[in-house]
Every structure is written in C-alpha cells, then in structure tokens.
Amino acid sequence: MNRRYFLKTSGAAAALAALPELGRAQSNGFDPRPGAWRRYEITTRVEILKPAGVSRAWVPLPAVESDYQKLLGSSWSGNGTMREELDSRYGAAMVCAEWRAGEAAPLLEVRSRIATRDRATDFSAFDPARRLDAASARLYTAPTEFIPTDGIVRATAKRAAGNASTELGKARALYEWVVENSVREPKTRGCGLGDIRVMLETGDLKGKCADINALYVGLARAVGLPARDVYGVRVAKSAFGYRSLGAGSDNITRAQHCRAEVFITGLGWVPVDPADVRKVVLEEKALPTTLADPIVPPVRRALFGAWETNWLAYNTAHDVKLPGSSGAPVAFLMYPQAETAAGRLDSLDPDGFRYRITARELKGA
C-alpha cells in the first residue's frame, strides 16, 4: 500500500499552528462576509442531437435554501413531457423530460432564479443548543458508493485529525491536511468522480473539486463529524479579484463547482472548500505556484468557515437514481443528464450532448 500521502501530516500541523486563531479578522485580500443579496437567473438549454427511441433528460434545479441562498422560482419549456421530481433521500430537485420515439429534435429549456450572498461563520457565537437532528446526523455520516468511511479512509482520518479532541479541532485539522496533501489535476475530466478509496489506496490525491472536497467529507464522516458535499455552479466573477474563483463569462456551461460543509455542534453547518485553495495554487497565476505564495494564505484562511457565494447550490445528493431511467445512479447531480435508446449520453461533453448554461445578474427590485 502506498503511504506517501501521510508524509505531510506534520507539515499540516505546522501550518495549522501558524494560522491566526479562528474568529480573528482575515486578510482583506479575500474576506467573504454576509452582505447584500444578489439575484441571478440561470438558463439551461438542452438539445439531444441524435435521438433514438424514447429520449429523456434530467436538469438539476436549485434545491438548497439557507442563509446564503434564496430560491426565487424555476420554470421550464420544451417539446416533450416535463415534470419536476425530488430525490427521496436528499431532496435534490430536477426537471425530468421525456420525448416520444420519432421526435427529431428534443428540446428542453429550464430557467431558475436565486438570490445569494456571501457567508461566514462567527466562531465566537457558540450555542450548545445548536445541534443536528438524529436523522440528518445519520445521513451525513453514512458512507456512499465513492465515499466509504471504513478501512483506509478511517485510518487516514484518525492520523490526519492527530491529537485534536474537539469537533472544531478535528474539522480544522482535516481541512489543513487535505489542503497540504491534495493537488488539483487539470487533466481530470469535469469535476472528478470523488472516489476517495482509490485516491487513498494509490496515494494519488490529485483531482478536482468533486475529488478533493469529497476527500474532506469522507475523512470528516470517518471520525464522526457530519459532513456533506454541496454541488453547484459558479455564476459570476469573484468580487475579490481572484480569476480562478469565479465564472469567466455569462456562459457557465463548464463552471460547475462542488463545495463542502461540516456540522459542528454549537456552530451549525460550517462551509469549507479545500479544493478552491488548490485551484488558486494551480490556476491563479500563469504558472502554478505554491501554498506559500502570498496570494494563497488569505484564501486558505477564509475557506475554512466562509464562502464567496458567486455560486449557485443545487443539492447535497449522492448516488442519485434518475427517475424513469434504467441506467445506473449518477454519483452526484451537478450536470444535465440525458439518455436515448442507445444509452446514457456523456454529461461532460456539452457540445456533443448538446447543452448550454448561462447566467445573468438581475438588477433592480
């Protein structure tokens, strides 16, 4: 078994000790804080270029309503039979469309409106009564197909958590360990699969957001901390000037991004995003830099406890069975999905599929 991924544990501990205490004001370079709400409209247009027999499509709808996102409604149109469905386990919402055999040009267009604002955890506002209900705690500590919580995952989690004895201490130690040991891999298709057992068994902790943040979620669950991936898409540029942390244009077809949350008794759901720390390392400059580069520490400090919400959250669902499909469940529902009598289409090939996702900010009342 390749155990080289344990070598940076001491480095993670040193980095943790060097960071400011939680709750202290962070650098002005990247400092998301709750403020004014911004409203967006996201349009997803799906066309099936090569229909065969009965064709079907599934488009995710935003289903997360919270202190950082409000749902303002969705609508859809097209030339097939359309309905909204909810995943029974996680409540993920989607538009399901079906076209009869012989429909030459299946078309579906979905519009969703949301309001978002940045979020940041007030680590000084500790309330012991803030606890997760038992059913949610079971759900968000349970294993999934790609996120087991036993074996090498549990062993790694215990080592990464080190001597931390509190929930918050463990959550923070795991975050620092993932930041130190993971690497963003630009050749990974889409956002990755999040198969963390394979990552750990091979010692290859490279990937993208659905890999790196799933690793955090799995390690957290393995030490008993409720944690979840939050699947979504970037909808606007970063207000802090980080090119790598925002959508480059109103065409957000390839701007999907998975984040993570961990539940801390007394604080509630705490936002984290170690994958975006690694994205800054790889992409913010013309050539990859390091965690020590001055552009990285402000992001590293902020992304344990805060998110810049130039981003839409769809759902927290894993292993999603697509209603009406005879195919296998999808690991997560962040991309449009479709199938024909010839089989499931490639959701990571929007040009061949074809689909296009656009976002625009809504100004005024």
The DSSP string of 192-214 is ----HHHHHHHT--EE-HHHHHH
- Please give the angle made by the CA atoms of 303, 12 and 245, to the nearest 5 degrees: 25
3-class DSSP state for residue 359? strand
113-166: per-residue pLDDT in tens?
999 999 999 999 999 999 999 999 999 999 999 999 999 999 999 999 999 999
CATH number of this structure's domain 38-116+318-362? 2.60.40.2250
- CA neighbours within 13 Å on the CB side: how many for 360? 6
* pLDDT at residue 365, as a whole number: 56
* pLDDT at residue 326, as a whole number: 86
First to last CA, the chain: 58
With DSSP H G I counted as helix, E B as strand and the rest as coil, what are the percentages for the chain, rounded to 5? 25, 30, 45
CATH number of this structure's domain 4-30+119-308? 3.10.620.30
> How far, in Å, CA of 212 to CA of 215, rounded?
5
* pLDDT at residue 18, as a whole number: 41
Q: Tell me which residues of the chain have a pLDDT lower than 70.
A: 1-28, 365
> What pTM was computed for the model?
0.92
* pLDDT at residue 4, as a whole number: 34
Domain ranges of the chain: 4-30+119-308, 38-116+318-362
